[in-house]
Amino acid sequence: MTTVTLLLTMSDPIPPVWNNPAPPALPAKKILTRIDPLKLGIMLGAIYALISLIFIPFFLIMMFVQIPMAAAGHTQSNALPFMFSGIFLLLFPVMYGVMGFIGDVIMGALYNLVAKFVGGIEVTVQDAPA
């Protein structure tokens, strides 16, 4: 067994530290005071367009169920033939993305306006590990 003897003198006010890592950095709190409305609209419009692709298989199923019913004369609405047509399935992601873009540009501009008075959203950020 090895023994380490440490002699502290008055000239060494702080004892040395072995195998003690630096304390972790505390997360920094930041306040989000402005959002670029155009960038927000582009990003979320694209996300909405991608999310809308999830619904297309369900619309296809409903379309294939409605085709025999429409052929038999059981349609109750004039909107059903367009809603379950191939054109609608192609336009649905585009319309969803465009409407998401327009809505989120408006919301980004409103956020910037309200953040001037309220102060914005407080977020906590932390450096990524190296």
**52, 92 Cβ separation under 8 angstroms:** yes
How far is it, in rounded angstroms, from Cα 119 to Cα 30? Answer: 11
Model confidence at 19: pLDDT above 90: no
HSE-up of residue 114 (Cα within 13 Å, Cβ side): 8
Per-residue pLDDT, 88: 80
pLDDT, tens digit, 9 for 90 and up, residues 68-97:
666 666 655 555 565 557 778 888 899 999
Report the phi/psi class of residue 120: left, alpha or beta, with left for phi > 0 and alpha for psi in -120 to 50: left
> Taking the complete model, does pTM exceed 0.75, yes or no?
no
Q: Which residue has the higher pLDDT, 101 or 65?
A: 101
| Band of residue 60 on the pLDDT scale cut at 50, 70, 90 | confident
How far is it, in rounded angstroms, from Cα 127 to Cα 31? Answer: 16
Beta carbons within 10 angstroms of residue 61's beta carbon: 11
How far is it, in rounded angstroms, from Cα 15 to Cα 18? Answer: 10
